[in-house]
Structure 1
Amino acid sequence: MSRIRSALVIGGGIAGPVAATALLKAGIDARVYEAYPGTSYGIGSGLALAPNGVAALDIIGAGDPVRAIAQPVSKMILSVGGNQHHLPAVPGEPPLQLVDRAELHQTLHDHAVAAGVHVEFDKRLIGVDEHSDGVTARFADGSTATADVLIGADGIRSTVRGLIDPNAPGPKFTGMLGFGASTFCDAEVPADTMVFAFGKRAYYLYWSAGDGQVFWGANLPSKQYLTLTEARAIPAEHWLTILRDTYAEDTPGGVLARSTTPEQLEVTGGLHIMPPVPHWYRGRMVLVGDAVHAPSNSSGQGASLAVESAVQLARCLRDLPEPEAAFAAYERLRRERVEGIAARAAKINSSKTPGPVARKMMNLLMPLMVKTVMNPEKTVGAERRYRIDWDARVQSA
């Protein structure tokens, strides 16, 4: 039986509210402290939740609220230089759920609060004091909070990660800047389908929301790294000029870029991938979500892995008596899976800007590739079939 009765969760994005809700389900009082003044606070655009991630949300009762704001997509097409190749679906698996990140943050927040989670905003963590029987968080406004354990769900620029290990690696730039938009245009986009397009000069993806509305995301190659703040300091008109030039010769990339207005463009800045983090925990502090594993957007699993890890961490804290034993079991359950998916995504990143010869070869080999190395059953089938057995007791490592 666990002797852990309370937890401080630093970060109110995706992993934070899920972890807190799962902890309450496990009988552990959890409070969330978010640095920003509100949920999401204008960060991010669209993302996809895989079946494994939605299944983990079902454990805490958040699956249906998320499905209510999502658009299911069950078909996928790979477009190479305008030539389209239909990818087989993973047999027996539910569709991907496409959601707006801000809406997802709000939905998870609302669900956590309804479950009884206490959430405070404008709480930027500046330090932690550990004691023999607890941990105290210090915030920039001078306030403090104390509990048995502290969970760092504070994202890719995690403060908690640096407190656990000052030498911990930070996120790595993938060499691409991210953009997203929802626009109206007459481009032909099949319903219930996500298209992954290798354009002449850059990669992009798109899907239809019906009635002429199309969501699209661009991965713009860039030698210069820009943070979210730096990228958004540049006028949207400037970015649209670059995007329209980059995708001018692509179909429907050119139409999508020309149809997008400055008001519709969502700028997300440099796209990241987290290298393996040596130390997931120390003492009474532990990391979860993007703070410890953030595969690039190419994985299609970033948010889903964050949800899974939050639920698994709650199981471990529920079943094991001491923080160190619980954290060790949690890392044992998660590290191999998340690092394997990150490695797969890294390989995809390296192929997002094929030249003309490579594009021609891809089209020639695609019929064979979709049956072998690109077959979803072989590449992501096991990833999407992963399910957490909440009722099973976690054993000590």
Structure 2
Amino acid sequence: MPSISSALVIGGGIAGPVTATALRLAGVDAHVVEAYPDADSGAGGSLALAANGQTALDVLGLGDAVRAIGIPIAHSRMTVGTKDLGALPSIAGVEPMRMVRRGQLQRVLHDGAVRAGATYSYGRRLVRVEGAASGVTAIFDDGGTESADVIIGADGARSTIRSIIDPAAPGPHYTGLLSFEGRADAGLSGARVPGAEADFDGMTFAFGSRAYYLYWPEPDDTIVWGANLPSKAYLSLTDARKTPNEEWLRILRATYAGDRPGERLVESTTVEGLDATGAIHIMPSVPNWHRDRLVLVGDAVHAPSNSTGQGASLAIESAIELARALRDAPDPTSAFAAYERARRPRVEAITRRGARVNSTKNPGPMAQRMMGVVMPLMMRFMDFEKTMGPEQRFRIDWEQPFPLGSR
């Protein structure tokens, strides 16, 4: 029987609703508070959901619903300029990664949390918290309050809860890259793009002459592409969307001019088909994951580079494991400590891997000229099975007691 009866979850993106659903499965009342005005606000472009993230959602009965809205990516390849480096090794025995529209994923997770009995409120931004021996109270910018046994910060890379737990906590590191997603139409079908093989239906990771991008086909005869645009200026999602898409398309077309098929993809994207999603972050190691009755989950405490393909999956895993710890521990302090011991080594190892890969996306002029030599060597000597096999085969056994002892 859980040692708590109620939890307040700050943030309704991905980690928030998964935490709430898992808490309900553990017998804990959960209320989610989101700063955006409704469940469909704030969504960005697509994200990758790895095999481990999909099987984690199976614990909550949500895996198949998410698979149904995702595009399976069974294979992938890499190009540098006009040179095709060929297929990347796949990991045997795991289901394919799926590309999922963030808005659709958030809707599935929200609806799952509501069905499980979690409650929501919107348009409320956390200001501060007040603690007591028996619980904790959150104070919001609308003057209202919410009290619970614990408060869980699922409030993203710019987490307010993180700064309350530790005012000296590091914030997310800006990678120097802005993220964009486009949908190319203009008569393009499947993966039939000039410069690409006509029958390739997986994902291509492409290092252009000035910037990195990737692309994959979707069933509606469009090609979705993602751009990592070098930028000295940091722009949040809100800031990036203040610039008209017409201007962003002009910048992107200049950046990918001469790249094949990057140039064609950007040229074939309309103003309506472009989505600016803001700065790409990497979260450095956070010294304190919890304090008193406050704890962090998801991007608030670990936000690896998008190069890992693991950001959403790790957030889902951590949300379920936190609920499992709260279910089995004798008190919140023990639960939080056990949760951190179990999760920190895994998420930080993956974050370090992503940081190494991400450095190749924004190289200096000299390194950029060497990409054609460096990337084939990296592919040749990297042991994909050793590096990524354990990441993707990770499984949560909900029925087993959470490991509470120190290691």
Same fold (TM > 0.5): yes
The one-letter code of the counterpart of 1:138 is I
The question of 1:61 aligning with 2:70 is answered no
Match of 1:376 in 2: 384
**Whole-angstrom distance in 2 between the partners of 1:40 and 1:293:** 24
Equivalent AA in structure 1 for residue 89 of structure 2: P
The Cα shift of 1:288 comes to: 0.2
Tell me how far 1:61 sits from its aligned partner: 0.8
Which residue of 362, 368, 372 corresponds with 2:374? 362
Question: How far, CA to CA, are the matches of 2:263 and 2:152 in structure 1?
Answer: 44
Give distance in 1, aligned partners of 2:336 and 2:129.
Answer: 18
Runs of at least 4 residues off by over 3 Å: 188-192, 353-357, 368-371
Residue 206 to residue 321, structure 1, CA distance change in 2 (3 Å): same
Structure 1 residue 379 displacement after superposition:
2.4
What are the residue-to-residue correspondences of 1:129-144 with 2, within 5 Å? Answer: 129-144=130-145
Specify the alignment match of 1:17 in structure 2. 17
CA shift for structure 1 position 195:
0.7
Cα distance, 1:124 vs structure 2: 1.3
Percent identity over the alignment is: 55
Letter in 2 for 1:360: G
SS at match of 2:400: coil
C-alpha displacement of 1:235:
1.4
Tell me the CA shift for residue 370 of structure 1: 3.3
Counterpart selection for 2:225 from 193, 204, 216: 216
Distance 1:145 1:104 in 2: 27
Task: Kindly indicate whether residue 291 of structure 2 is the aligned counterpart of residue 279 of structure 1.
Answer: no
Tell me, yes or no, if structure 1 residue 103 matches structure 2 residue 112: no
The aligned counterpart of 1:120 is 121
Against the structure 1 CA distance between its residues 321 and 210, is the aligned structure 2 distance closer, same or farther, given a 3 Å change threshold?
same
Deviation at 1:372, TM superposition (A): 2.7
CA contact (8 A) 2:184 2:266 kept: no
Following TM superposition, by how much is the alpha carbon of 1:7 offset from its aligned partner in structure 2, in angstroms? 0.5
Cα separation, 1, equivalents of 2:43 and 2:233? 21
Shift of 1:360: 2.9
Q: Is the 8 A contact 1:226 1:270 kept in 2?
A: yes
Change (3 A) 1:292 1:40: farther
Query: 8 Å contact 2:36–2:42 — kept in the other structure?
Result: no
Distance (Å, rounded) in 2 between the aligned partners of 1:211 and 1:27: 42
1:67-123 deviation digits (Å, cap 9, x = unpaired)? 111111110101111222111210011000110011111111011111111111112
- Residues of 1 paired with 2:381 and 2:294: CA distance? 43
Alignment-derived partner of residue 315 in structure 1: 324
Aligned counterparts of 2:199 and 2:346: Cα–Cα separation in 1 = 33
Q: After alignment, is 179-188 or 321-330 more displaced?
A: 179-188
CA contact (8 A) 1:280 1:286 kept: yes
Note if contact 1:320-1:395 (Cα within 8 Å) is conserved in structure 2: no
Alpha-carbon distance in 2 for matches of 1:382, 1:249: 39
Letter in 2 for 1:43: A
Structure 2's unaligned 5+ residue stretches are none
SS of alignment partner, residue 316 of structure 1 = helix
Partner of 1:170: 171
The alignment status of 1:183 with 2:184, answered yes or no, reads yes
Deviates most, 298-307 or 115-124: 115-124
For the 8 Å contact 1:67–1:97, the answer to whether it is kept is: yes
* Counterpart secondary structure, 1:151: strand
Query: Given the alignment, which residue of 220, 223, 230 partners 2:239?
Result: 230
Gaps of 5+ in 1: none
Within the alignment, does 1:256 sit opposite 2:265 as a pair? yes
1:190 and 1:207 in contact (8 A); partners too: no
Give the distance between the partners of 1:361 and 1:146, measured in 2 at CA. Answer: 57
Q: What do you get for the CA RMSD once the two structures are aligned?
A: 1.5
CA distance in 2, matches of 1:88, 1:40: 36
Q: Counterpart of 2:27?
A: 27
In 1, Cα distance between the equivalents of 2:109 and 2:199?
Answer: 30
Give the AA of the match of 2:185: F
Shift of 1:3: 1.8
Q: CA deviation at 1:181?
A: 1.2
Shift of 1:371: 4.5
Change (3 A) 1:245 1:191: same
Q: Distance in 2 between matches of 1:166 and 1:211?
A: 48
Structure 1 position 257, deviation (Å): 0.7
What is the rounded CA distance, in whole Å, between the counterparts of 2:62 and 2:200 in structure 1? Answer: 26
Distance 1:192 1:360, change over 3 A: closer
| Aligned-partner Cα distance in 1 for 2:386–2:3 | 42
Matched, 1:350 2:326: no
- How far apart in 1 are the matches of 2:92 and 2:105? 27
CA contact (8 A) 2:2 2:28 kept: no
Deviation at 1:40, TM superposition (A): 4.2
* Cα distance between partner residues in 1 of 2:250 and 2:119: 45
Residue 156 of structure 1: aligned partner: 157
C-alpha distance in 2 between matches for 1:353 and 1:190: 30
Contact 1:190/1:208, CA 8 A, preserved across alignment: no
Letter in 1 for 2:135: G
Residue in structure 2 matching 1:395, options 382, 393, 403 = 403
Take 2:79 and 2:238, find their aligned partners in 1: how far apart are those partners? 32
Alignment partner of 1:338 is 2:356: no
Secondary structure of the 2:158 match is coil
Indicate conservation of the 8 Å contact 2:182/2:266, yes or no.
no
Q: Report the Cα distance in structure 2 between the residues aligned to 1:184 and 1:268, rounded to whole angstroms.
A: 20
State the secondary structure of the residue aligned to 1:350.
helix
More displaced 10-residue stretch of structure 1: 243-252 or 345-354: 345-354
Q: How many residues are aligned here?
A: 393
TM-score relative to the length of structure 2: 0.93
